[in-house]
Amino acid sequence: MHTPNQNVIDYKAQKAARDAPFLAVALTVITAVFGSYAFSTMAVMFFMGKYSRNFFQGYVPLHLGSLPLYSPYAIYKAYMTYWQYPMMQHVTFSAATLTVIAVVSVAVFQFISSGRKQKALYETDLHGSAHWATPKEVGQMALLPAKGSKSSFKICYVGGYPDDKGHLKYLQHSGSEHIIAFAPTRSGKGVGLVLPTLLGGWKESVVTHDIKGENYLLTAGYRRSIGQRVLKFNPGFGLAGDEDVGSQLAQCCHFNPLEEVRIGTQFEVKDVMNIAMMIVDPDGKGLNDHWQKTGFILLTSVVLHVLYAEPDKTLRGVAAYLNDPELKDVDEAFDKMMKVEHDPEGRFRWKDQHGNAVKVHPVIAQSAKEMINKAENEKTGVISTMMSFLSLYRDPIVAGWTEYSDFHVMDLQDCEDPVSLYLVTSPEDKNRLKPLIRLVLNLIASKFTSADRLVEKGGRMECVGKHHLMLLLDEFPSLGKMDVFQDTIAFLAGYNVKLFLIVQDKSQLEDEAHAYGKSGAMAIINNCHVRIIYAPNEVQTAEWVSRMLGKKTVVMENTNQSFEGGFLPSQKGQSRSITYQARELLTPDEVLRLQGPVKEGSNIVKAGDMLILVAGFAPIYGQQMLYFKDPRFLKRAQIPAPLQSDITSQPKNYRDIFGESGGVGAPPESDDVDMPADFYSQLDDDSTDSYEETAEGGALPADTGMAGEPEFDDEPPDDLAGTDINGGAETIMDGEAETVSEDDKIDDGEDEIVDGGAGMGAVSGDVEAGSLELQDVQNALAEIDLVPPEVSDDLRLSDLLHYQHSHSRGLRSRNVSDLSALSGGQGR
């Protein structure tokens, strides 16, 4: 067992070291005296009697009792007299040899022992034992792959370590512990940590906070090539210029946070509250005033009402509910929340506070009643506070990308193939989109720490997910404080969720106004097993790093000499003293001066130095790794990014939850009769293996989970291109639906529905569901054999358009929002 203070010496050890030379000399002298007598006597006694002549007669020996002791001098005198006799030569040689061997042996042993004691004075850990990790210690950290071992699918590259020959060995962390890196901007963290990990280290599911989308461009192609589902969620992405609209839209996926609510279950209120909390607390500062707290309660009830009774079950729909131009005042909206039947079939068996069965959601009704009872000024303040937090979702671009979901959070662990999700935000939209990115990450962290994710297996608790998940969050503090990470980081690893956090410096993480504060920052840092440090730009971080590295003991020897005399003084005396001083392994200024990467312009040409601290081990003084210096990583980075984002889940079908009402509480109008269930299942089955077409006529392959080149058709299908319905009054062509009245021609940009619904949800103008005559559309579709064989006459117009669009053009159901807009969003 290793003890950190094993080299600390006390007064007794110091005294023994000082006395060691004297003892060595004394023991050597004693050995020489007694040894000479002993070996001389042994030699005389051994050879005596072998010769008739007594050569030692007349030499009176010493006596030890009755035992005579012959001194070396007696042998010497006898030898000088009888040296010509062989017997004397044998006696003298034997005694001298044995004596010399004994003396030398004792002397060597004593001086070696004395040297060790003296060395302890200079190698003490009295003031600290900090030191850089040796190659042996690095091997004990399990950061270097063992020879002959299989490569893990869960590797995070944390740096490099030069071996004795100067070759850089990659340090690989494959454990479940969390990692945090302190690396300023433009210090090489992307090329040295993020990209190597994504280009072959971590082959399980990953969520990457990808500012500017660089990681997606360089790693998505490789991750698709190894069989992963690749998703790019860029909620600020809009169309640019005259580029191929379909290609641009297909690059990204959609995500509707409200589809993560387990509506109709006992968890629905909790799920909605989690979402509402993230919306009304966009910076993680908490609900600090009355308006936020009351707005949180109101938002919870409005979201529930929208999910149960409104056709637009999105955050855009939530933002629009209280601002409906058709409402006389906001109390009318609250009155609707109190009276609409959220459960017309009574399947959820709700009861009010009196135990009576009700069809109006109790939570919604109580909150609406509370708002009606408030004073007008307070009511206005609460509503305006809530609406200010929902303003982001009024942006048609953001509303489009959050209209439905191409993936669900649980797919990240439960999908058949590992999933790579890139959360992309451009620098100009980073702050504006921060609430939405925070919401997505909060949903991920909270969903995967629910109680049903752990099961008992073999006497141990194991996660039910098929894949491990890593959250690779660059610029982590810029997302603001998220309590879910601070609270769950201690046990996230038990749910097969690993954090790889990257921050600029410790001060950024400790920012009280925009991040976690000192206590929260330390809670996060202390739960990260591996800490990576690049050369900081900030003194506070350098001081903290210096303290973490620890102190070592420096031994200083001082020699003092004294002289006396005048012109030619003579030395009077000399003294020597040893002092022990503490010194940081690296001082703060030395930490600031860690060798950074060498650049030519903005390009890195030589790696810089770095520090790797693994809990329980000495720090590693390492070297940054550069992915483009490794041919394997460089080749993988050159694989083109996918032209189309994958899909892991279909949008939630609310008819499976609410039945025929589809979650629309208001009484249906005459042309809004629900579609038969078998018809919707037929739509889902028929559209599974279909292809998605763009407005330009390009065909993109449906989601397969594997890399593939898209196929493009130069011309639209002949059966639809230019199809004229009802004498030109309504024209459906090339993936777009355009409504034109003969009496009132609609100018471009007014009542036109563009194919932005596939990815943008951009609807310029309001087109009512009755703008096309139902019978005319049915007749026109029947002429081209597009009406299903068993369809009643009371179908909704949007359902027919949905069916025509998905079957004739091969579109997946997710790309028909341009048609569903005709029914006010009820077609989904």
Tell me whether residue 191 is in a domain. Answer: no
Q: Are strands 469-473 and 497-503 parallel, antiparallel or unpaired?
A: parallel
Task: Please identify every stretch of the chain with a pLDDT value under 70, giving residue numbers as ranges.
Answer: 1-19, 39, 43-63, 66-67, 70, 73, 79, 81-85, 87-88, 117-123, 146-150, 239-248, 561, 563, 565-573, 665-828
| Residue 6 burial (CB count, 10 A) | 9
Give the angle subtended at the CA of 541 by the CAs of 540 and 543, to the nearest 5°: 65
* 619 within 8 A of 613, measured Cβ to Cβ: yes
Domain boundary among 73, 104, 122: 122
Phi, psi for residue 631 in degrees, rounded to 5: -60, -30
* 130 within 8 A of 552, measured Cβ to Cβ: yes
List CB contacts of 267: < 8 A, sequence separation 6 or more: none
Which residue(s) pair with 129 in the sheet?
Answer: 552
Number of domains in the chain: 3
Q: At 777, which amino acid appears?
A: V
- Are both 680 and 812 inside the same structural domain? yes
- Are both 672 and 819 inside the same structural domain? yes
The tokens for 360 are 């109006």
Give pLDDT, residue 569. Answer: 67
- pTM of the full predicted structure? 0.71
Tell me whether residue 111 is in a domain. Answer: yes
Rounded to whole angstroms, the Cα distance separating 580 from 556 reads 6
Give pLDDT, residue 581. Answer: 83
User: How far separated are the first and last CA of the chain, in Å rounded?
Assistant: 65
Rounded to whole angstroms, the Cα distance separating 404 from 219 reads 26
- Are both 815 and 672 inside the same structural domain? yes
Closest CA to 90 of 47, 51, 59: 47
Q: At 803, which amino acid appears?
A: Y
Sheet containing 229-233, strands listed edge to edge, beginning at the edge strand earlier in sequence: 168-173, 156-162, 620-623, 609-614, 528-533, 178-182, 497-503, 469-473, 205-211, 419-425, 229-233
- Are both 698 and 816 inside the same structural domain? yes
| Helix (DSSP H) and strand (DSSP E) numbers for the chain | 28, 29
* 254 within 8 A of 828, measured Cβ to Cβ: no
Domain boundary among 567, 584, 601: 584
524 membership: H or E segment, kind and range: helix 517-526
Q: At 501, which amino acid appears?
A: L
* 599 within 8 A of 593, measured Cβ to Cβ: no
Q: What is the pLDDT of residues 478-490, one digit of tens each?
A: 999 999 899 999 9
Q: At 46, which amino acid appears?
A: F
Give pLDDT, residue 99. Answer: 77
Tell me whether residue 637 is in a domain. Answer: no
Tell me whether residue 330 is in a domain. Answer: no
Tell me whether residue 752 is in a domain. Answer: yes
* 230 within 8 A of 218, measured Cβ to Cβ: no
- Are both 573 and 707 inside the same structural domain? no
Tell me whether residue 741 is in a domain. Answer: yes
Tell me whether residue 811 is in a domain. Answer: yes
Give pLDDT, residue 118. Answer: 64
User: Rg for the chain (alpha carbons), in Å?
Assistant: 42
Phi, psi for residue 296 in degrees, rounded to 5: -65, -45
Domain that holds residue 56: 11-122
Tell me whether residue 506 is in a domain. Answer: no
Rounded to whole angstroms, the Cα distance separating 493 from 698 reads 44
Give pLDDT, residue 25. Answer: 79
Which residue(s) pair with 737 in the sheet?
Answer: 732, 753
List CB contacts of 81: < 8 A, sequence separation 6 or more: 55
Residue 432 Cα distances to 35, 277, 504, 512, 712, angstroms: 93, 17, 21, 20, 36
The tokens for 668 are 């249906």
- Are both 569 and 715 inside the same structural domain? no
Residue 89 Cα distances to 32, 50, 61, 312, angstroms: 21, 14, 19, 119
Domain boundary among 584, 601, 633: 584
Give pLDDT, residue 55. Answer: 60
DSSP H helices in 527-606: 539-549, 588-592
